[in-house]
Structure 1
Amino acid sequence: MTMQWSRLLSAQRLGHRGAEPVTPSRNPFQKDWDRVVFCSAFRRLQDKTQVHSLPESDYVRNRLTHSLEVSSVGRSLGAQVGETVLQRHGNGLKDITAAEFGHIVAAACIGHDIGNPPFGHFGEATIQHWFRSGPGAELIAPLPEQQRRDFLHFEGNAQGFRVMTRLQNWRDAGGLRLTCATLATFMKYPFGSLAADPAKGKFGHFAAETLLFEEMVETVGLSRLGEDRYARHPLTYLVEAADDICYSVIDIEDGFKLGRITFAEAEERLHSLLRRRPPRYKEIDDETWKIAYLRAKVIGDLIDQAVDVFCANETAILHGGFTGDLMGQSPMAPHLAEIAAFTRSRIFQTRERFQTEVMGGEILTSLLAAFCDAHLALEKAGDIVVISPRQHALLRLMPRLPDPAADRYDWLLSVTDFVSGMTDSYALKQFQRLRGLQ
C-alpha cells in the first residue's frame, strides 16, 4: 500500500477526535514544537550527556542544545522537501504549504532525544544489561515475552514516545496531545519490542503504549510491512538526516574546542564535506571562527544533499521500500564514514569518557537496585506500613506514591521512568545520598 501525503500530514491530535485546522498564523505543528519545548522532560535535557558527560567546558553541546540544533536543521530539510512534494502532489493537500512540512519535522526533531536516560547511550546500555544479567533478570522472569523484551532492550526511542504520549501531562490518554503527523515522524522504529531486530534491539514503543501506537498508525496510514511492523513515516528520514548531519559536523567542532583534535585536523575534515571552498573563508583570522564558519557552510551543503536523495527516492519511500538512510546515499557518505571513525577514536574513546562511564554505570545500577528492591518489598507485603523504613523512604522519593496493588510490569516501568528521566547531576546526587555521602 502506498502511503498518502494527505493522511501522513494529519493534524489530528492523539487522543482527540477530528483534526485541528491548519492556519497560517500558528498551525498545529508549531503548537507541537511549543508543547515539547515547554515540558519538564525537555528542560532536563540541559543536564544530560550528549557526547561529553559533565564536560569541563560549557561551550560544548548537551542534549538540549543538540536537540535545538537538530530541530533547526530539520525545519530546513522539511521545508525544502515540502516544496517538491507540493509540486508533485499539491492538488490533494489543501491548506498545506512547504512551511508545514518544516514545522512537522522540527517538532519531531525537538523531541527526538527526550527519552534518553542519564549518561547517554551508555546509560541506555547499562539499564539493558541490568535486566539481562543483573538483579533485574529475576524480576522480569515471570512477565510475558513482550513485557520482558521491553526491559531487555530498553530503548530511549520507546521511552521518548512514552514520555510524550503518557508521562508529560496530568492525563495519560495522549500525554502532550501532539498531532499524529508529528508523533509518527518522531518514531524512528514503528514497531514494538517483539518485532525488533534481535541484533540491534531497536524499537519504537513499549507494550504499555500499544493502543496509542495503533491509533497513531491508523490516523496517518503507515504501510504495514509484516506482522506488527510498519514502514516509517517518510518525514522520519529527514529527522534521522538532521541528527546525522549535526552529529557529524558538530562533534568535530566540539572536539576542537575541547582540545582533543587540532585545528588542522578539524579544518581538513570540514573542508572534505564541502562541494567548494567558500571564497570568504580566507578573510577570517581566528581559528575558532574559521571552524564555526566551515561548520555552517557544511551543514548547508549536507541539507541540500539530503533533500536531493529524499526527492530522488520519494516513490520508494512512500511504498515503504527505501532502505538505509539519506546521508548514507549522499555523495559525501565516504567522508562522513571517515569522520565517524575519526571522532570515535579521538573524541569518544578517551580515558576521561571511560572514567565517566564507570561512574555512570555504578550510579544507575545502584539506583535501579534500590528502587526496585523497595517496590518488590511493597509487592510482597501489600502494605507500605509493613516494609522497612529505608524502603518506605525510597518509595516516598518517587514522583507519586506507588500503589501496592500495581502489577510488576507497571511498577518496573515506573522505576525506569523515574531513573531514565533523571539528569546526570540529579542521578549523581541521588546515588550519593543512597550511599550516605551527602
Structure 2
Amino acid sequence: MASDVLRMDWSRLLETSRYGRNDGNTGIRSPFQKDIDRIIFSDHFRRLARKTQVHPLNENDHIHSRLTHSLEVASVGKSLGELIGVYLEEKGELPEALQPTDVGEAVQAACLAHDIGNPPFGHSGEEAIKDWFKSKHDIFRHIGPEYEADFTRFDGNAMAVRILLSTGFQRIGMSPTYAVIGALLKYPWPSFKAAKDKFSYFQTEAEAMEKVADTLGLIRLDGRYSRPPLAYLTEAADDICYRIIDIEDGTEMGILDEQFMYDRFARALGLDSSGRYAWLPEAHFRQRNSVLRAKLISEATQEAAALFEVYYDEIMTGTFDVKSSLMEKSVTGICRTIHDVYEQTKGTLFLSRRKATLELGAQNALGRLLDQTMADVDKFCHARQSGLNDKIKALIGPEAMDDISGEDSHCQYKVMMTIVDYISGMTDHYATNLCRKLLGLGY
C-alpha cells in the first residue's frame, strides 16, 4: 500500500477518555464496562422494553421488543469485538494497555446503545415523524435547509448519539468513551449529506462530532468522516440479529409457517442429514428455531469477523464502500444465505394485516402528537405569547427549554428538536395513551 494513503490508528480509535468529562480509569471496571453499565441502567435503555422492534403493541411475550433485540445484538457484538481484538493483537496493532476483551466491551456498549434513540412504533415511527415534517413547509420559514433535513430525514441513529453526548432532552447524557461513540457511528455524516435518510448526527451535535472525529483520527472524506472500524462490527451484529430474529418472530406470529426456518436454513447449516439432529424436524417449532438460531448466529459471527479481516485495509483507509456492509460482502457463506432469505421474506413480514393496521394507527398517533406540540412553535422565539406554548412547556417539563433563548438565531430549531426529543423518547404505550388523552378519549 502506498505510504501516502491516510490510515486510521487503533491507539486513537480505542481512546478510553470520555466526551464531556473524564472521571479517570480507577476501580476494577474497565472504561468500556463503565459505558455498558451506564447504558443498561439508563432510563432510555429501560424504555426499550416497551418500544416496537417489528410488531407493535404485541401481547405475545415471545416477540422481541427493542430491549431484547438490543441485548441480543450486544451479545453478538461482544463476540465480534473479541474476535477482532485477537486479530489486532496478532497483528501487533492492539494498544499495549488493552486486551481483546476490551474491544469486545467497546462494541458491546455501542450495540446496547444503538437503538436508544428510536421513536415509538419502530421504523414506522421514524417514517411518521419524517412525513409529518415534510408536509409542514411553513414551519421551516426561519430554519436553514441543513437544519430542516434533521426533521424531514429524522433518524433514530442520530438521536442515539444525541442522547449519549449529553446534548439531548434535559441535557443529561452518559459521557461515553470516545471509542464507544466511534463504534456507534454507522453513518458519520449529517442529515443533509444522508443517503436513504441514514445519518449519525443532527446539527446540534455537529460541533461535538468535530471533536470526536479529531480524537479518533477519522479521515475526512467529501463532507463526511470515514466510518470508525468498530462501527462495522456494531452494524454486523445488528444485521445478523434482526434478520434472523425478524424471521423467527414471523413464525411465532403465524405470518410464516412454523417449518419455515428449518426449510430455509437446515441444509445450509448441515443439519438436514445429521444424525445428531435427526429429531429436529419433529421438534416443537420454538425448540427447532432455537437450535437453528444459535447455529446461524454462531456461523454468521465467525464469517463477519473473517470478512472484516479480508476488507481490513479498505476499512482502515476509509475506502470500504459506504453503501455496503460486512454481511452484504458475503458471496456464498451463511451471511449471504441469511441476507437472501430475509430479502425474499421481508415483504410478507412487514405487510401482515395486523402490523399494517397498527402502523397506520401509530402514524396517526404521532401525527396528532406533533400537531399538538408543534402548533405554535414559532411563537416560542419571536416575542409572541401563546397560552398553548405554556401548556406544551408544562407537558414536556419547563426545564427542558430553560437554556433556549429568543436571542439565539437557532432558537426555533432548538425548540423543535427538544419537542422531537420528547416524542421520540416515548414508549409505544405512552404515545398511544397520551394521544387518546389529547383527543379527549381517556384520562
TM-score (norm 1): 0.91
* Identity across the alignment (%): 36
CA distance in 2, matches of 1:409, 1:255: 40
1:225 counterpart (221, 227, 231): 221
Contact 2:81/2:105, CA 8 A, preserved across alignment: yes
CA distance in 2, matches of 1:170, 1:155: 20
Report deviation, 1:195.
Answer: 2.3
Report deviation, 1:224.
Answer: 1.2
Matched to 1:373, the amino acid is A
Report deviation, 1:225.
Answer: 1.3
Matched to 2:200, the amino acid is G
Matched to 1:434, the amino acid is L
Matched to 1:393, the amino acid is K
- Say whether residues 1:242 and 2:237 are aligned partners: yes
- Say whether residues 1:53 and 2:48 are aligned partners: no
Matched to 1:348, the amino acid is F
Contact 2:219/2:318, CA 8 A, preserved across alignment: yes
1:85 counterpart (79, 88, 107): 88
Deviation readout 1:246-286 (Å, 9 max, x if unpaired): 01211122111122212222212232542566653234533
- Say whether residues 1:257 and 2:260 are aligned partners: no
Report deviation, 1:63.
Answer: 0.3
Report deviation, 1:169.
Answer: 8.6
1:415 counterpart (410, 419, 423): 419
Contact 2:163/2:169, CA 8 A, preserved across alignment: no
Contact 1:143/1:409, CA 8 A, preserved across alignment: yes
Deviation readout 1:312-337 (Å, 9 max, x if unpaired): 11111101111221111122354223
Distance 1:169-1:273 versus aligned 2 partners, 3 A rule:
farther
- Compute the RMSD of aligned alpha carbons: 2.1
Distance 1:125-1:168 versus aligned 2 partners, 3 A rule:
closer
- What is the SS of the residue equivalent to 1:373? coil
Report deviation, 1:153.
Answer: 0.9
Report deviation, 1:151.
Answer: 1.2
CA distance in 2, matches of 1:263, 1:303: 25
Deviation readout 1:25-68 (Å, 9 max, x if unpaired): 42101111111111111111111110000113111100010000
| Residue 325 (structure 1) aligns with | 325
| Residue 177 (structure 2) aligns with | 179
CA distance in 1, matches of 2:392, 2:170: 23
CA distance in 2, matches of 1:30, 1:83: 18
Matched to 1:83, the amino acid is V
Contact 2:121/2:428, CA 8 A, preserved across alignment: yes
2:266 counterpart (257, 260, 271): 271
Deviation readout 1:172-210 (Å, 9 max, x if unpaired): 5xx21100000011011111123223xx12211111111
| Residue 3 (structure 2) aligns with | none
Contact 1:14/1:179, CA 8 A, preserved across alignment: yes
Task: Specify every segment of 5 or more residues in structure 2 that has no aligned partner in the other structure, as ranges.
Answer: 1-5
Matched to 1:140, the amino acid is F
Matched to 1:280, the amino acid is R
Report deviation, 1:164.
Answer: 1.1
Contact 1:70/1:110, CA 8 A, preserved across alignment: yes
Equivalence map 1:29-428=2 (5 Å):
29-90=32-93, 93-133=95-135, 135=136, 137-167=137-167, 175-197=173-195, 200-227=196-223, 229-274=224-269, 280-283=276-279, 285-323=283-321, 324-330=324-330, 331-380=333-382, 382-383=384-385, 387-388=386-387, 391-401=389-399, 402-403=401-402, 405-406=405-406, 407-428=411-432
Contact 2:236/2:327, CA 8 A, preserved across alignment: yes
CA distance in 2, matches of 1:30, 1:381: 47
Matched to 1:219, the amino acid is T
- What is the SS of the residue equivalent to 2:354? helix
CA distance in 2, matches of 1:22, 1:191: 34
| Residue 11 (structure 2) aligns with | 6
CA distance in 2, matches of 1:210, 1:30: 27
Compare 324-333 and 426-435 and name the one that shifted more. 324-333
Distance 1:77-1:255 versus aligned 2 partners, 3 A rule:
same
Distance 1:168-1:411 versus aligned 2 partners, 3 A rule:
closer
CA distance in 2, matches of 1:418, 1:272: 47
TM-score (norm 2): 0.90
CA distance in 1, matches of 2:428, 2:190: 28
Compare 268-277 and 46-55 and name the one that shifted more. 268-277
Distance 1:170-1:118 versus aligned 2 partners, 3 A rule:
closer
- What is the SS of the residue equivalent to 1:95? coil
Matched to 1:77, the amino acid is L
Deviation readout 1:208-263 (Å, 9 max, x if unpaired): 11121111111111111123x11101011111110111012111221111222122
Contact 1:79/1:100, CA 8 A, preserved across alignment: yes
Task: Specify every segment of 5 or more residues in structure 1 that has no aligned partner in the other structure, as ranges.
Answer: none
Matched to 1:234, the amino acid is P
CA distance in 2, matches of 1:370, 1:99: 48
Matched to 1:236, the amino acid is A
CA distance in 1, matches of 2:378, 2:202: 21
CA distance in 2, matches of 1:279, 1:249: 25
CA distance in 1, matches of 2:284, 2:335: 29
Report deviation, 1:290.
Answer: 1.4
Deviation readout 1:91-131 (Å, 9 max, x if unpaired): x6112111011001000000001111111111111111111
Contact 1:251/1:343, CA 8 A, preserved across alignment: no
| Residue 438 (structure 2) aligns with | 434
Compare 120-129 and 301-310 and name the one that shifted more. 120-129
1:28 counterpart (11, 31, 36): 31
CA distance in 2, matches of 1:184, 1:275: 37
